Structure 1
Amino acid sequence: MLMGAEHEGWQGFQHTGWASLEAVRERLDAGADPNVGWHWMPPLHDAAENGTPEVVAELAARVDDVDVLVDGRSALWRAVHAGKPGNAQALLDAGADPVRPMMSGWSPARLSLVTGNVIPSGEVLTEQERALIADRDRMIAAIGDFPEYDGFSIACVGGIDAAEATRRLNAYVVPDDELPDLGDWYEEPFEDDTELAMGVTDVPGGCVVVQPWYFNASSTDVMRRLSAGTVAYGMYANPKSGDQGSSHRDGEVVGWDLHPGGAPAEDDGTPGVLLAHLYDGEAVAYCCAYAGLRPVDNKAFTEPDRWLLLPDIDFWRS
């Protein structure tokens, strides 16, 4: 929906258009405002993520403020986050400030230290941040091609093992000789108890609870119990609306209606912005990293060590 006449010059302009200097110049020469797009993101910000250095340079020469912040970040920050070093250099050449404070302590220059295209500055990373960065590729490789489907839920819990998680959930451990055929998770293998059935597995740093067929592993009461005295991140891979996350600490909700694997938010906090940058598009790995888990493979999600039946509880009790 257009918000006013100033938006009309960019109406219908697609993300792919930022790759064409000719198309951008045609719009600008016809009166399109270089400062205001026809949706929420200004043209320079959009081009920083999706365009070419030539387009970025053209827009940067025409805008009122090359460092204007939208959602707490500048166009230069977006170029660094998107892995577009040419676009970043075009913005630097246009006078963008690489050390302007933003995004919970992650200036564009500081964020660039996470990438292979460093913007020279006096910014530094902490030892803990360097460790998280070093483990990113290993984590994603370990989780591999999971998930291959939606509709599952997980709880990544730091600092406790599967035995303690079982105790906190007051769950019954299903003996191997009582396990149903788990070859097809979509067939509700536990029949009437399927909503109460979850797998749990020890991983370095804690444990993973997974429910392949429902959202209950990430439900309020399960997360509240599991996170007592520690931290846990839950996610439901909603087939209709995408990945839905929540974070709990010491039995209390910290964040709700979150989007693991999504773009960083300015209020994520210093560690949160880093994790969101590192695991952009990698929702399950993000959940693990948030809780401090370091799985060596994806068996916790695909072949749990033990199966539990939970008591008939109100999963969404606060």
Structure 2
Amino acid sequence: MFPLPAGQAGLSPAESAAVVEARRLISVLGECRQEGAAFAFVADVTAVEAARRLRARPVDEDAVAAILEDPWADFDGSLRVVGLSDVPGGCVVIQPWGHVPADPEVAGPLSAGTVCYGVAANPKSGDQGIVARDGTVEDADTNPGGSDAGGHLTSEEILAEYLYQGHAVAYCCAAAGLRPSDARAVVGPPDMWVRLP
């Protein structure tokens, strides 16, 4: 975008790789933003392990179909249901109708021994992110992909915020180190639906 001043090295190999991955990930995920939905991206954890960490149980297909048809019929009950999918690098937790994957009660346990980035697409106030590492919430109410993604603004963080402007879901996915090959894990259907206790 800008000419490189004489004598300047430009991007490092790692930074150049981050640019390539950002373009790929944004292209793969497309415009997956869903108002009122929430997502969590967990590094190095399978969907089965995520269910175990959350003490979740499988949900009957008929119950999921009823929720998908009208999540407001029993909203408190539907908030306890999330989808889990394996992707290269970890797993994705989705809830097309609520905020639960981006809540501390979910992000915290999922992040034990690893990292979890979550985002809820709040139709009233915009994207609300959360960062949990090793069982502890490090930052909450962030704006991933919108210049406040959490963290300590290292050069890598500044580059990521620039690369993922307006792409909160892709930002969180990349920050957790996940490398999905398609958008299924974020647009559904997930590998499994589970009910939280």
> Taking structure 1 as the reference length, what is the TM-score of the superposition?
0.57
Overall identity of the aligned pairs, in %:
41
Match of 2:53 among 168, 173, 189: 168
The offset of 1:305, in angstroms, is: 1.1
Aligned amino acid, residue 185 of structure 2: A
Q: 1:121 to 1:217 in 2, by over 3 A?
A: same
Number of residues of Structure 1 aligned to a counterpart in Structure 2: 194
Higher relative contact order (CA 8 A, sep 6+): 2
Q: Provide structure 2 residue ranges, at least 5 long, that are not aligned to the other structure.
A: none
Using the TM superposition, give the Cα deviation of residue 180 of structure 1 relative to its aligned residue in structure 2, in angstroms: 3.4
- Which residue is 2:162 aligned to? 277
d(CA) in 1 for partners of 2:64, 2:142: 34
Q: Which letter does structure 1 place at the counterpart of 2:167?
A: E
Q: Is the aligned partner of 1:242 residue 2:126?
A: yes
The aligned amino acid for 2:71 is E
Structure 2 residue matching 1:275: 3-state secondary structure: helix
Does structure 1 retain, via aligned residues, the 8 Å contact 2:130–2:139? yes
**1:159 and 2:59 aligned:** no
Q: Residues 194-205 of structure 1: matches in 2 within 5 Å?
A: 194-205=78-89
Larger-Rg structure: 1
RMSD: 2.3
Match of 2:65, SS? coil
Q: Distance in 1 between matches of 2:181 and 2:5?
A: 33
Q: Deviations for 1:92-111, whole angstroms, at most 9, x for unmatched residues?
A: xxxxxxxxxxxxxxxxxxxx
Q: What is residue 71 of structure 2 aligned with on the other side?
A: 188
- The structure carrying a bigger strand percent of its residues is 2
Partner in structure 2 of residue 211 of structure 1: 95
Q: State the AA in 2 paired with 1:169.
A: L
Alignment correspondent of 1:55: none
1:132 to 8, 18, 25: 18
* Correspondences of 1:253-268 after superposition (within 5 Å): 253-263=137-147, 267-268=152-153
Task: Quote how far apart the aligned CAs of 1:263 are.
Answer: 2.5
Residue of structure 2 in register with 1:61 after alignment:
none
Provide the TM-score with structure 2 as the length reference.
0.89
- 1:143 aligned to 11, 29, 45, which one? 29
Q: Summarize the Cα distance change of 1:264–1:152 in structure 2 as closer, same or farther, 3 Å threshold.
A: closer
Specify which structure has the higher proportion of helix: 1
